[in-house]
Amino acid sequence: MLALALTAAALAACAQPSVMTTGAQGQSHGLASFYRDQTRTASGERASPGELTAAHRTLPFGTRVRVTDVDTGRSVTVRVNDRGPFIPGRVVDVSYSAAETLGITDRGVAKVRLDVVQ
């Protein structure tokens, strides 16, 4: 019975996204990536790589989030209209246009801070 409880606890720990949430409400840190080829979002909208949008696992659609590259200080405000990312350690996927604004299209991923602004 103890082995079963320990296994369940270990699996629950693995299921948690590797996101560090700070003391400030609506702020988190992790990795951001970007997406390019998509036709529809989870909200039902047509995807447009030219818009400043993002995918987040839990924030409501329509939430505005400032994404800041912690290494460069560059930031962009995006609107959540999709779900994801589904890769461990990543906290947000941004549109190609947002990735260009952040300057991460060459790197592919960046350490970021997320701040909910609306």
Each residue's pLDDT tens digit, 65-82: 999 999 999 999 999 999
Within-domain flag for 7: no
Within-domain flag for 52: yes
Which one-letter amino acid corresponds to residue 88?
A: P
**Does the pLDDT at position 24 exceed 80?**
no
Q: Number of folded domains in the chain?
A: 1
Within-domain flag for 32: yes
| Nearest Cα residue to 109 out of 33, 19, 53 | 33
Within-domain flag for 78: yes
85-95 pLDDT tens trace: 999 999 999 99
User: What is the domain-level CATH number for residue 45?
Assistant: 2.40.40.10
Give the list of residues 6+ apart from residue 110 with CB closer than 8 angstroms, or none: 31, 32, 69, 70, 71, 72, 102, 104
Within-domain flag for 14: no
Within-domain flag for 18: no
Q: Which residue has the higher pLDDT, 116 or 46?
A: 116
Taking residue 59's Cβ as centre, other Cβ atoms within 10 Å add up to 18
Within-domain flag for 4: no
Within-domain flag for 57: yes
Range of the domain at 88: 26-116
Mean pLDDT of the chain: 82
